[in-house]
Amino acid sequence: MNRTPILVIVGPTASGKSALGLALARVLNGSIVNADSVQIHRGLDIGSAKATLVEQQEVPHHLIDIREPEEDYTAGDFVRDADEAIRLIGTRQRLPIVVGGSGLYLRSLLHGLAPELPRSATVRDALRQELDRLGPARMHEQLAAVDPRAAERIHERDTVRVLRALEVHRITGHPISAAQRAHGLAETRHRALVLAITARREDLHARIQARSQAMVRAGLLDEVRALLDSGVSPDAQSMRAIGYRHAVEVLVGGASADGLVERLARDTRRYARRQRTFFRRQLAARWLCGPMASGATARLARAVRESLSPGAALCDFVRLSPGWPDEDQALAAGPWSGEGIVSDADGAHLPAGECPPE
């Protein structure tokens, strides 16, 4: 295990994790390590809600704008680069604060890359032929029938991951989600305190709607048009991200620009749901119901500092971390104030002072 303590802040899109990361970085002498797969790429600014230049100057940020928009970037690349950023931040006597919502990146950083699952060119070619014949929706239905958990978190248009999950099932007879879930229980690679921030469903949906409108008004279509004009393929990895693929559908696929905001907000809501499900099942997080109440940031910063101090048990932090990890429950706790209900990663509500089961 890397003994450098790190703080990890996760949450669904528009939950406020970036703002929380910045607020805690200011108080805790922290530096941000980006764990958003879109912000990795240069030129993808509006659709990724990338930190502004002013914010990046105020608090050091790492792993932003490190790849061209047409370059692929894997979870393995992220683990290598994030490990180096964490090491560098530690040498500068600052706290590494990993902030983002890309679940595969975060799980790989904390638990290592999953063991390589079997592949078969024959099976893969057969699946591609089925995709051409049946279309993405029918292939996603096949996945839902054999691996509901994988289907829940993989969008039907993400055909690369849909076909990969089906390939694993056809070769092994077992769902890919089972292997991934087992991997999520592996020993952590870092001494990490993981905070997950969420919000009431209606509040999160309202933020997503407002964010979608703001992105389109800020020039999302112009940003994507400039990227395509510069030679970026509409099939590039970066162009498959939410927001960017919606703009490509308008600019290349002939979709109506009038419904762009609603399509973007709808798919972002679905993605946020998948994110919360993933974090609940895959990361041992302490959940907070945002937004932060007045004065709560300072109390939270003190709790983080104490939890990450030498000799502290990370589970001590649950005394101060209320939240509701199950989005199907009513979020009744209100703005986080430093008091109230505590919860572990599995959704069991714990008496104050108790640690979650090992």
Q: Which of 145-154, 185-194, 196-205, 306-315 has the lowest mean pLDDT?
A: 306-315
The token pair that represents 114 in the structure block: 């999953």
Q: Between 84 and 333, where is the model more confident?
A: 84
Q: State the burial class of residue 52 (Cβ atoms within 10 Å of its Cβ: 0-12, 13-18, 19+).
A: exposed
The domain made up of 121-182 has a fold known as Histone, subunit A (1.10.20)
Non-local (6+) Cβ contacts of 40 within 8 A are 34, 63, 64, 65, 66, 67, 73, 78
Q: Is the pLDDT of residue 337 over 70?
A: no
Residue 31, strand partner residues: 96
* Per-residue model confidence (pLDDT) at position 284: 81
Domain coordinates in residue numbering, the chain: 2-106+190-230+269-350, 121-182
Q: Give alpha helix (H) positions in the chain.
A: 17-28, 53-58, 75-91, 103-111, 121-134, 136-146, 148-153, 159-172, 176-184, 201-218, 220-229, 244-251, 260-282, 296-307
* Per-residue model confidence (pLDDT) at position 187: 65
CA angle in degrees (0–180, nearest 5) for 136-137-139: 65
Question: CA 209, CA 265: separation in Å to the nearest integer?
Answer: 5
The string of pLDDT tens digits covering residues 249-258 is 999 999 999 9
Average pLDDT score over residue span 212-239 = 97
Reduce the DSSP state of residue 358 to 3 states and report it. Answer: coil
Q: What is the residue-wise DSSP string for 222-244?
A: HHHHHHHHTT--TTSGGGGSTTH
Specify the residue for token string 């932003």: 64
The domain made up of 2-106+190-230+269-350 has a fold known as Rossmann fold (3.40.50)
Question: CA 21, CA 32: separation in Å to the nearest integer?
Answer: 7
Residue 245, strand partner residues: none
Report the chain's terminal Cα–Cα distance, integer Å: 18
Specify the residue for token string 């070769």: 171
* Per-residue model confidence (pLDDT) at position 256: 96
The string of pLDDT tens digits covering residues 14-65 is 999 999 999 999 999 999 999 999 999 999 999 999 999 999 999 999 999 9
In percent, the amount of the chain with pLDDT more than 90 equals 64
Residue 194, strand partner residues: 8
Q: State the burial class of residue 358 (Cβ atoms within 10 Å of its Cβ: 0-12, 13-18, 19+).
A: exposed
CB 38 within 8 A of CB 13: no
pTM metric for this prediction? 0.76
Summary mean pLDDT of the chain: 84
Q: Which of 2, 11, 23, 14 is nearest to 202 (CA)?
A: 14
Question: CA 319, CA 266: separation in Å to the nearest integer?
Answer: 36
CB 172 within 8 A of CB 119: no
* Per-residue model confidence (pLDDT) at position 320: 36
Average pLDDT score over residue span 228-248 = 96
The string of pLDDT tens digits covering residues 163-218 is 999 999 999 999 998 877 765 545 678 989 999 998 888 999 999 999 999 999 99
* Per-residue model confidence (pLDDT) at position 262: 98
* Per-residue model confidence (pLDDT) at position 188: 78
The token pair that represents 50 in the structure block: 């990338």
The string of pLDDT tens digits covering residues 73-130 is 999 999 999 999 999 999 999 999 999 999 999 999 998 887 778 889 999 999 999 9
Average pLDDT score over residue span 235-246 = 95
In percent, the amount of the chain with pLDDT more than 70 equals 83
* Per-residue model confidence (pLDDT) at position 311: 62
